Amino acid sequence: MQDRANKNTFTFEMIDRLTEAFAEAGARQDVRAVVLTGYDSYFSSGGTQEGLRDLFEGRYRFTDKDLYSVALNCPLPVVAAMQGHGIGGGFVLGLFADLAVLARQSIYTANFMKYGFTPGMGATLVLPEKLGPALAQEMMLGAGNYRGEELQRRGAPFPVLPRESVLPHALELAASLAEKPRQSLVALKRHLSASLRARLPAFIEQELELHEQTFHQPEVRERIEALFGR
């Protein structure tokens, strides 16, 4: 992902291109693993300010474009090389990968409640699943920023490396995966992700219901205008 002008936020072009790239990779018989990464100090910055305004106005729901599950639903194993900041939905996007590598100095945050609305994109499922319930609840309720090195101290079960080492390590992991037969990788990925895939639709419905309760408050619009990008 490299949309420098928008710092890898979820523009419609980014969503469409990323969805297309995953579909192409999953369909190719000569591909056995996928590495998802960003550029420089950005992995993914989550929703755009315009997108948050559309959610507030009810013109858009995060399920209208299914970006959140592209890594989960990819038939091949996906390694998220989160070398840069993972913000809100951008962090969630990486956590839905099968394997993840974080950077010590980068920021990771589930900052939905910073703007006054409840988490979406399957965050309420995948954060507790990957980080443990206590840390996940703290991240979602408090909406704070966490450096990779702090998440490592708090028990995050991922390699946490200097930023310049994240992508090389992820490529090594992918190369190791690619040594295995493709059919076996697909079968094991399907089995290992089955529980998460089965539970996700119910969590998405619950998150949409919570958005109906929390997104349309005047204070939320004020926060979107005042706090976005800070």
Catalytic residue annotation: 211
Mean predicted lDDT score pLDDT of the chain = 96
Task: Characterize 182-203 residue by residue with b for buried, 16 or more Cβ atoms within 10 angstroms of its Cβ, and e for exposed.
Answer: beebbeebeeebeebeeebeeb
Within a domain: residue 82?
yes
Within a domain: residue 169?
no
Within a domain: residue 11?
yes
- The per-residue pLDDT for range 154-203, each reduced to its tens digit, is 999 999 999 999 999 999 999 999 999 999 999 999 999 999 999 999 99
Contacting residues for 150 by C-beta, under 8 A, at least 6 apart:
none
Within a domain: residue 222?
yes
User: Is 69's pLDDT higher than 90?
Assistant: yes
Within a domain: residue 171?
no
pLDDT band, residue 230 (cuts 50/70/90): confident
Within a domain: residue 33?
yes
Domain residue limits at 55: 4-164+180-227
- The per-residue pLDDT for range 13-61, each reduced to its tens digit, is 999 999 999 999 999 999 999 999 999 999 999 999 998 998 889 888 8
Q: How far is it, in rounded angstroms, from Cα 73 to Cα 22?
A: 9
Reported pTM: 0.96
Within a domain: residue 8?
yes
- The count of domains in the chain is 1
What are the start-end ranges of the E strands in 51-137? 78-82, 85-87, 99-103, 107-109
- Per DSSP bridges, beta strands 160-161 and 99-103 are parallel
Question: Would you say 44 and 18 are in contact if contact means Cβ atoms under 8 Å apart?
Answer: no
Within a domain: residue 153?
yes
Task: Supply the CATH number for residue 135's domain.
Answer: 3.90.226.10
